[in-house]
Chain A
Amino acid sequence: MKRRQVLKLGCAALTTGAIAGRLYAAPATGPRFLLVFLRGGYDSLNLLVPYSSSFYYESRPTIAIARPDAASTSGALALTADWALAPAVRDTIGSLYQQRQAAFVPFAGTDDLSRSHFETQDSIELGQPLNRTRDYRSGFLGRLAGTLSGPASEPIAFTDALPLAFGGSSTVPNLSLKNVGKPPFDERQAQILDDMYADHHLHTVVREGLDLRQEVAQKMAEEMNSANRSAINTKGFELEAERMGHLMRDKYRIGFIDVGGWDTHVNEGAAQGALANNLASLGRGLQAFSQSLGSEWKNTVVVVLSEFGRTFRENGNHGTDHGHGTVYWVLGGGINGGMLAGEQRAVDRAALLQDRDFPVLNDYRAVLGGMFRTLWGLSPDQSGRIFPQVPPKDLKLV
């Protein structure tokens, strides 16, 4: 199809309203997957609170989150007899959990014990065995996209630069949706640029790039024009996530986004404060994402992860330092949510790794590999290409 035709169709769709924005006919079924990478190591202990552990309250005299109170509708939300969800995400992620559309995997993470942001982020995104030389050009989402190929794949990174996770897959488009202005070129200019590459081997990517910008700009126009929008002017991650949802509803099947601001060494806060604000924004964003996917939400799985957890005890600055095991979130309209999954242990001092932080009982490659296997029906051979040397583990979440 020529660019011009695509654009015309898009305009027609816009005016008819009912199918506005659906430039690409999505296959009727098939999973969609979004990876949300919280860069900086978020403090999972103030998201998923081990409220039955007195050791937690002893270790965090100023930043602990209070035990859930059944009479309160704004405090921490008890999920099990031992764990509660932070008040900051009670109305968003808590609500999904109650609809069995959210689950958590505590004691999750990687064997990498460097406790360095860069090292650990890199090693997770690459998803390669730690005991051998790393190939910086091959990330696990890139390998997943390569394994699936065709329309089942359709990867996209909602970032300014292609993340390491997509390394090795050169055809992944990337576009940050934080600030999307008018399309950079009008239709005539875009057509001229397109024609200029007509005989060139880059023609397909050039056209795809111009179309994507055009498509996103049209969705922005829909946002502006839509009459049934909530009166509140969404912004920040919430708006970005809503845009992501629309793109993934209509076309893309493997997405990546990163969210920063989690390195809370100082004045982290408890039920309120810096971390709570960041969590609340993330929760609203993911809720907006789920809603904007519409009926596709039931085919979608979101995993939220971070390079490591933080120290069990608070430090001298009302914050926490780099730790190890963390809590992964799994969200989706069709998942077996409403539970905590994976290996667990009682939270006391003896459970700590090096008397410092949470151990890792659920390797991220086994957990993700298990989900990928079920979602796409991968063969052992295919699973082994995505996460070599680590057998997939089925947590029965998807």
Chain B
Amino acid sequence: MPPALLEAAPSLFSIAPAVLAMVPALLSGCADSAHGDPAPAKTAALPALSRLDVLWLQRVSFGIDSTSVEELHRLGRARYLDRQLQGRESLPAPVAAELADLEITHLDPVRTIAEVNAARKAANAMPDGPDREAARKAFNERGNRLAYEAVRSELLRATYSPDQLEEEMVWFWLNHFSVHQAKADLRWLVADYTDRAIRPHAFGPFKDLVLATLEHPAMMAYLDNNQNAAGHANENYARELMELHTLGVAAGYTQRDVQQLALVLTGSGIRAGDPPRLKPELAKLYYQNGAFQFNPARHDFSTKVVLGRTIQGRGFAEVDEAVSWIVRQPACAHFISRELATYFVADNPPPQLVERMAKTFQRTDGDIAAVLREMLLSPEINAALGGKFKDPTRFVVSAVRFAYDGRTITNTRPMFNWLNGLGETPFGRATPDGYPLNEAAWASSGQMSRRFEIARAIGSGSTALFNSEGGASAAVAAPGFPQLSNRLYFEAVEPFLTARTREALGRASSQQEWNTFLLASPDFNYE
């Protein structure tokens, strides 16, 4: 991580002495309210949510802000959840404007792939020398820029979308159907993958989600199915489709099933430029969806047997048949339910909850919204509240949502750098298994001290968050370090602080330090 981004920059701000003077006063206010003597300023606000409600809200969002706290209070959990599952609320205007400005918003993958191939070909055809180096450099810079735009879009949506649960599910599925931007030409494709394959299917049905990822060039390239053809099968995608995407590793399928599924998948790949020239009898079997294509000339037309089901060789229809069969297996319902519960409920989710979710999954043919409802309104999640360690994404996004409550940042680079320092950038997982969802993976000693440093960077006010993305300083005065001791804090955080955290906050010698301790506290790092 560039150290500059972790440096506190107190010299950039004039620390208003009044604010410093306020800290002890605010803290004594805390103590009062803890003894049930609310300060008058706070009674004007809505009555506070219960501790469990606040924790629950953190599970169904990337962290609390004033709007979500108010809404949960107004609606209650069940209606709040209904609204989140309906989704499709509009983004705040400044965020929508930022996203509209991104190049990725306007790219067509078919054209992009053709451009990428042409640019690479042109560079390779040039003689050795500075021109060729320059062409390569320009090519790579554009790829990196587009990959970063995809990250930027994800971070802005995670932080500001009113459809918080949907954004959590986008993160969850991006991680479940993980692709790595550094492989092949994925830098050009990850944004489209998110917007076309993942987000529209975030609440299911699960089968549609699997097929949407399958019919995307990003997945085809990432797991090498583009190289999977009759006569020289590549099993990489077939294996992960069962092991990581649908059934789980111990589901009882065999190497033979993997090989047979790989044959079903022969010919599925990427369309670059014009469709292939095919004999008439094959041409009618050609299928195309955006930059995905099924090329019957590369397909193995033999009869296959996958998980005991005989699939007649006939073309792309085999894929639909095989995927439908796989996602109907009880193992799939169980595997997906357990993973959801690991992310939303507990590192080791209660088996009876997973069982009920799996039943719902099977009864509804993979309706993820129904499974989420079962899980998020269960007594089991209530019992687990407060015990889930925030993974780096939840930590960073929730800190920014809380610290700048509703005020939109203009530059996501610092957030990206923080996530990079903690090892969990979007599209950054090299292996296809996705980032781990459990505490042990993120709470090593090195990661904890790094997390504290980032808590300080956020608590000290990273002005860069309000610079333009290009790095120019903010046109209007940057807001300096955030006032974490705000109304949201007094309503939804302060009443529930543990004695140890309260004591640490009392020892802070400046507002920045107070912010740092709060963001570093166990109270903030668990939900």
Show the binding face of A for B, using Cβ within 8 Å: 118, 122, 133, 135-137, 157, 160-162, 164, 170-175, 179, 181, 184-185, 189, 192-193, 195-200, 202, 205-206, 208-210, 212-213, 266-267, 317-318
Contact of B449 among A118, A133, A161, A213 (CB under 8 A): A213
Residues of B413-443 at the interface with A, using a CB-CB cut-off of 8 Å, are 420-421, 423, 430-431, 433, 436, 440-441, 443
Contacts of A200 in B (CB 8 A): 500, 522
Asked if A174 contacts B500 (CB within 8 A), the reply is: no
A170/B444 contact (C-beta < 8 A), A118-B180, A162-B423, A192-B507 known? yes
A133/B444 contact (C-beta < 8 A), A160-B423, A195-B500, A195-B503 known? no
Q: Which residue of A lies closest to B450 (CB)?
A: A209
- CA gap between A205 and B450 in the complex, in Å: 12
Asked if B448 contacts A196 (CB within 8 A), the reply is: no
A294 nearest CB across to chain B (Å):
25
Q: What are 29 A-to-B residue pairs whose CB atoms are below 8 Å?
A: A118-B180, A136-B433, A137-B436, A161-B423, A162-B444, A170-B440, A170-B443, A174-B446, A179-B3, A184-B453, A184-B456, A192-B508, A193-B452, A195-B500, A196-B500, A196-B503, A196-B517, A202-B448, A202-B522, A205-B445, A205-B448, A209-B448, A209-B450, A209-B452, A210-B449, A212-B446, A212-B449, A266-B128, A317-B128
Contacts of B3 in A (CB 8 A): 179, 181
Which of B443, B446, B447 has the most C-beta atoms of chain A within 10 angstroms of its own C-beta? B446
Contacts of B443 in A (CB 8 A): 170, 202, 205
Q: Which residue of A lies closest to B434 (CB)?
A: A136
B19 interface hit (Cβ, 8 Å): no
Q: Which residue of A lies closest to B239 (CB)?
A: A133
Contacts of B128 in A (CB 8 A): 266-267, 317-318
Which of A189, A193, A196, A213 has the most C-beta atoms of chain B within 10 angstroms of its own C-beta? A196
Asked if B446 contacts A175 (CB within 8 A), the reply is: yes
5 closest A-B pairs by beta carbon, nearest first, are A209-B449, A209-B445, A161-B423, A208-B445, A170-B440
A71 nearest CB across to chain B (Å):
34
Show the binding face of B for A, using Cβ within 8 Å: 1, 3, 6, 128, 180, 183, 239, 243, 249, 420-421, 423, 430-431, 433, 436, 440-441, 443-450, 452-453, 456, 498, 500-501, 503-504, 507-508, 513, 516-517, 520-522
Asked if A184 contacts B243 (CB within 8 A), the reply is: no
Contacts of B447 in A (CB 8 A): 174, 209
Asked if B445 contacts A192 (CB within 8 A), the reply is: no
Which of B421, B423, B431, B520 has the most C-beta atoms of chain A within 10 angstroms of its own C-beta? B431
Asked if B440 contacts A160 (CB within 8 A), the reply is: no
- CA gap between A174 and B1 in the complex, in Å: 14
Contact of A185 among B243, B452, B522 (CB under 8 A): B452
- CA gap between A199 and B229 in the complex, in Å: 58
Contacts of A212 in B (CB 8 A): 445-446, 449
Asked if A193 contacts B444 (CB within 8 A), the reply is: no
Contacts of B239 in A (CB 8 A): 133
Asked if A196 contacts B521 (CB within 8 A), the reply is: yes
Q: Which residue of B lies closest to A184 (CB)?
A: B453
Contacts of B180 in A (CB 8 A): 118
- CA gap between A157 and B513 in the complex, in Å: 30
- CA gap between A198 and B499 in the complex, in Å: 11
Asked if B441 contacts A170 (CB within 8 A), the reply is: yes
- CA gap between A193 and B521 in the complex, in Å: 8
B240 nearest CB across to chain A (Å):
10
Asked if A136 contacts B500 (CB within 8 A), the reply is: no
Contacts of A181 in B (CB 8 A): 3
Asked if B445 contacts A206 (CB within 8 A), the reply is: yes
Asked if A197 contacts B441 (CB within 8 A), the reply is: no
B51 nearest CB across to chain A (Å):
18
- CA gap between A206 and B467 in the complex, in Å: 33
Q: Which residue of B lies closest to A181 (CB)?
A: B3
- CA gap between A196 and B452 in the complex, in Å: 12
Contacts of A199 in B (CB 8 A): 498, 500
A131 nearest CB across to chain B (Å):
8
Known: A137-B436, A170-B441, A184-B6. 14 other contacts (CB 8 A): A133-B243, A160-B420, A170-B443, A171-B444, A184-B453, A192-B504, A195-B500, A196-B521, A198-B500, A205-B443, A205-B444, A206-B445, A206-B448, A209-B446
A173 nearest CB across to chain B (Å):
4
- CA gap between A252 and B130 in the complex, in Å: 46
B271 nearest CB across to chain A (Å):
23
Interface secondary structure of A, over-half rule: loop
Which of A162, A184, A208 has the most C-beta atoms of chain B within 10 angstroms of its own C-beta? A184
- CA gap between A208 and B444 in the complex, in Å: 9
Asked if B504 contacts A195 (CB within 8 A), the reply is: yes
Asked if B453 contacts A192 (CB within 8 A), the reply is: no
Contacts of B440 in A (CB 8 A): 170
- CA gap between A206 and B249 in the complex, in Å: 34
- CA gap between A184 and B444 in the complex, in Å: 17
Contact of A196 among B1, B249, B501 (CB under 8 A): B501
Contacts of B249 in A (CB 8 A): 133, 135
Asked if A184 contacts B1 (CB within 8 A), the reply is: no
Contacts of A157 in B (CB 8 A): 446
B510 nearest CB across to chain A (Å):
11
- CA gap between A358 and B501 in the complex, in Å: 60
Contacts of A266 in B (CB 8 A): 128
Contacts of A208 in B (CB 8 A): 445
- CA gap between A182 and B98 in the complex, in Å: 37
Contacts of A179 in B (CB 8 A): 3
- CA gap between A313 and B431 in the complex, in Å: 31
Q: Which residue of A lies closest to B449 (CB)?
A: A209
- CA gap between A71 and B249 in the complex, in Å: 61
Asked if A118 contacts B444 (CB within 8 A), the reply is: no
Asked if B445 contacts A189 (CB within 8 A), the reply is: no
Contacts of A118 in B (CB 8 A): 180, 183, 430-431
Asked if A164 contacts B431 (CB within 8 A), the reply is: yes
Contacts of A189 in B (CB 8 A): 513, 516
Contacts of A164 in B (CB 8 A): 431
Contacts of A193 in B (CB 8 A): 452, 504, 517, 520
- CA gap between A210 and B520 in the complex, in Å: 13
- CA gap between A164 and B513 in the complex, in Å: 35
- CA gap between A161 and B392 in the complex, in Å: 12
Asked if A174 contacts B501 (CB within 8 A), the reply is: no
Asked if A192 contacts B517 (CB within 8 A), the reply is: yes
A82 nearest CB across to chain B (Å):
33
A192 nearest CB across to chain B (Å):
5
Q: Which residue of B lies closest to A196 (CB)?
A: B504
Contacts of B504 in A (CB 8 A): 192-193, 195-196
- CA gap between A118 and B179 in the complex, in Å: 13
Contacts of B500 in A (CB 8 A): 195-200
Asked if B522 contacts A160 (CB within 8 A), the reply is: no
- CA gap between A122 and B183 in the complex, in Å: 14
- CA gap between A206 and B517 in the complex, in Å: 13
Contacts of B183 in A (CB 8 A): 118
- CA gap between A208 and B507 in the complex, in Å: 22
A247 nearest CB across to chain B (Å):
12
Contacts of B431 in A (CB 8 A): 118, 122, 136, 164
Which of B183, B453, B522 has the most C-beta atoms of chain A within 10 angstroms of its own C-beta? B522
Contacts of B6 in A (CB 8 A): 184
Q: Which residue of B lies closest to A180 (CB)?
A: B3
Contacts of B433 in A (CB 8 A): 136
A319 nearest CB across to chain B (Å):
10
